[in-house]
């Protein structure tokens, strides 16, 4: 069964509601330019999340020590890298947390670029190509994944909402590991609609 990652959490009461849904991954954005930046979120709120939920820090071209310090402070189970991080950068984090390397996909994307990352990461994440490094609310053409020939499992992201359930259930790819949702389930940036997420999670597991 495909796993669920809810990303862009930052409001304490909303985090608690999302935790109650028991997603597989819960994402916190550590990129200061993001509208969903966690800023001064109390680390204890994150460290007390049950271990069955993999807390995930999202970074964009951050200093390596910044990521390592966040892993320790928030006891992150995974890191999601949305910038131009190199394979060596990714390798430096392996063993500290799961490493998810995100790539923005459009018609010009060269999937051969992923080959150098194959042994450096645990998962890829395929998102819609945007200048803002995700959170656009827009999907990309999933048929482009026909060009992906590696065996590394991946997260599918980019503008996924309730209206995509039927299409998600039709994906027949054993590498399709998890679906990542964010902006299409928001009331405000960083504040999620729990009722919609509940419906999505239930439908995804049908």
Active-site residue flag, 127: yes
**Catalytic residue chosen out of the listed positions 24, 90, 127, 180:** 127
**Catalytic residue chosen out of the listed positions 7, 24, 90, 180:** 7
Contact yes or no for 124/154 (Cβ under 8 A):
yes
In 3D space, the residue among 201, 178, 8 whose CA is nearest the CA of residue 100 turns out to be 178
Active-site residue flag, 7: yes
CA distance 18 to 15: 5
In 3D space, the residue among 76, 64, 4, 5 whose CA is nearest the CA of residue 38 turns out to be 76
Beta bridge partners of 58: 29, 80
Strands 123-128 and 98-105: parallel
Residues catalogued as catalytic: 7, 127
């Amino acid at each position: 069964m495909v796993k669920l990652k809810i990303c862009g959490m930052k409001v304490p009461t909303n985090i608690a509601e999302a935790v109650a849904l028991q997603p597989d991954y819960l994402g916190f954005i550590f990129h200061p330019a993001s509208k969903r930046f966690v800023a001064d979120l109390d680390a204890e709120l994150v460290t007390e999340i049950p271990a069955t939920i993999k807390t995930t820090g999202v970074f964009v071209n951050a200093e390596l020590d910044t990521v390592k310090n966040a892993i320790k402070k928030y006891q992150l189970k995974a890191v999601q890298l949305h910038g131009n991080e190199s394979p060596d950068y990714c390798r430096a984090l392996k063993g500290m947390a799961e490493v998810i390397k995100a790539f923005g996909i459009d018609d010009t994307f060269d999937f051969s670029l992923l080959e150098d990352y194959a042994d450096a990461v645990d998962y890829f994440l395929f998102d819609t190509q945007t200048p803002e490094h995700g959170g656009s609310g827009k999907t990309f053409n999933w048929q482009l994944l026909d060009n992906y020939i590696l065996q590394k499992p991946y997260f599918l992201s980019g503008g996924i909402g309730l209206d995509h359930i039927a299409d998600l259930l039709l994906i027949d790819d054993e590498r399709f590991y998890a679906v990542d949702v964010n902006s299409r389930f928001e009331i405000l940036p960083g504040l999620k609609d729990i009722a919609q997420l509940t419906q999505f999670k239930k439908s995804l597991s049908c």
